[in-house]
Amino acid sequence: MTTADTKKKNKPNVSELFGKIFKRQIFIPIAAVLVLLLFNLIVDPGFFSIELTRNSAGNPVLSGNLITILNNGSELAILVLGMTLVTAASGGQDISVGATIAIAGSIILRIVCGTDAKADSASFGIVLVAFLVACVASMAFGAFNGALVSIFKIQPMVATLILFTAGRSIAAWINNNQLPTVSDPSFGYIGGFIPGIPIPTPFIITVICIVLMALLLKFTNLGLYSQAVGINESSSKLNGINPIFIKFLTFVILGLCTAVCGLIKVSRVSGITYSVIAQDIEMDAILAVALGGNALGGGKFNMAASIIGAYIIQILTTTLYAYKIESTALSAYKAIVVIVLVIVSAPAVRNKTKAFFAKLKAKAAAERKEVA
């Protein structure tokens, strides 16, 4: 009796609350994360175990599937920061990020290793210099893309197709097609663990990047301006925003993100393979932006949703690996999940389901009236 009463009382509030949550852009990505984690919880609770173990060098490290997700999702999460801005401002995506990561990684190794394609020691200073040079180069490549998109008004996907085709070739050319390796273990700290800190370094770098991006969006008008440019370029121009500069800037920021990813990528394996490094990451980054519920046609964006989108992809990957699915077959399963998510969040489907529920409600109300 009492429970039924409270239920009746709470009912409108609850449905209102759900309606509000459902309307939020971030709802679908978070729901997807919860569904994926719930699936893992039901099938194998051991998925969530986190252990403090010692790695081969004897340093304490955290291990477990959740840590793997946070660790391996780093590059993607950093990349989406830039990709979301580019998508919002220019209404298109940069498909050259994988190639630019290869270039950045190649530059870093070139400076650390010199012409011998081998380095036994890598001091902090030289790695820093290498990273800074890679940053400048990546930003220059970003500027190239940005100039094509903003000044020459070429669709972003097509403009970045140029670097997509040439990028890995340029990366191979920088190192004269050698495969440099760094044998100094301290070079691997960036992509692994710093002695004494059990948290994976890439995750720390990701957090730093996210905080920097949050500060950038909080204290500058970049977010607002890029949305304005994405929604309507000419009206934003009339309002005193320079659309060319904003588009250009977003591509340069994305370039910076790729340099950070390049550093992490080469540090993970202490070397580089030009055709394999960051393969298909551009597709994953675009998917992450789309899974975050952002319109790929530009305009409004939600950075947090994009970042969650990146981790959705990583959770999915790690989950599938945990069930012993081969890495080559992985993409088929990924595609199915992506299609389901995209269909669920498609406006046409959402409107239809809304209409369906409204009809159901009206029917129920009519029946209630009849009974009364």
Partner 1 sequence: MAFLKKSMGAAKKSKMTDTNLLLTITIVVFVAMYLAAVLFLGEGFLKPQAFFNMLNQNAALIIVSCGMTLVMITGGIDISVGGVVALVSMSCAVHLDHNGGSILEAVLLALGIGLAFGLIQGFLVAYLEIQPFIVTLAGMFFARGMTTIVNATQFNVAHEGFVKLKDTRIIMPEIFGTLNKHGKFIPAYIEIGVVVAILVVVILFCVLRWSKTGRKFYAVGDNNQSALMLGINVKRTKFTAHVICGLLAGIGGFVYFLHVGSGSPSHASGMEMNAIAASIIGGTMLSGGVGNIVGALFGVLSLSTIKDIVSSMGFDEAWWTGITVAAMLCIFLIIQSIVTARKSSSVAKSDG
Distance CA 90, CA 94 (A): 10
Q: How many CB atoms lie within 10 A of CB 307?
A: 23
Which residue, 208 or 336, is less far from partner 1 as judged by CB?
336
CA 104 to chain CA mean position, Å: 18
Residue 182 pairs in a beta bridge with: 119
Instruction: Please answer whether residues 134 and 262 qualify as being in contact, where contact means their C-beta atoms are separated by less than 8 angstroms.
Output: yes
Interface region with partner 1, contact rule CB under 8 A, candidates 1-9, 131-139, 145-153, 303-311: 145-153
Least distance (Å) from partner 1 to the CB of residue 155?
5
Distance (Å) of CA 50 to CA 44, 63, 169, 312: 14, 6, 41, 19
- Residues in contact with partner 1, total (CB under 8 A)? 45
CB of 176 to partner 1, least distance (A): 9
User: Whole-number minimum distance, CB 370 to partner 1, in Å?
Assistant: 36
**Contact (CB, 8 A) for 200 and 192:** yes
Binding span for partner 1 by CB under 8 A among 13-21, 223-231, 252-260, 345-353:
345-353
The reply on whether position 207 binds partner 1 by CB under 8 A is: no
Our finding on whether 132 is near partner 1 (CB under 8 A) is no
Residue 144 CB, shortest distance to partner 1, in Å, is 9
CA distances from 148 to 55, 82, 175, 219 (A): 47, 17, 27, 28
Which tokens in the block code for residue 88? Answer: 């919002």
Q: Which of 140, 346, 355, 360 binds partner 1 (CB under 8 A)?
A: 346
Within 230-289, which residues bind partner 1 (CB under 8 A)? 283, 286-287
Q: Establish if 86 lies at the interface with partner 1 (CB under 8 A).
A: no
CB 93 within 8 A of CB 87: yes
Q: Which helix (H) or strand (E) holds 370?
A: helix 347-371
- Helix, strand or coil for residue 151? coil
Whether residue 307 contacts residue 81, with contact meaning beta carbons closer than 8 Å, is answered with: yes
- Kindly write out the interface string for residues 285-314 of this chain, putting x where it contacts partner 1 by CB under 8 A and - elsewhere: -xx--x-----xx-----------------
155 is an interface residue for partner 1 by CB under 8 A: yes
Contacting positions for partner 1 (CB under 8 A): 93, 148, 152-155, 157-159, 161-166, 168-170, 172-173, 177, 283, 286-287, 290, 296-297, 326, 328-336, 338-339, 342-343, 346-349
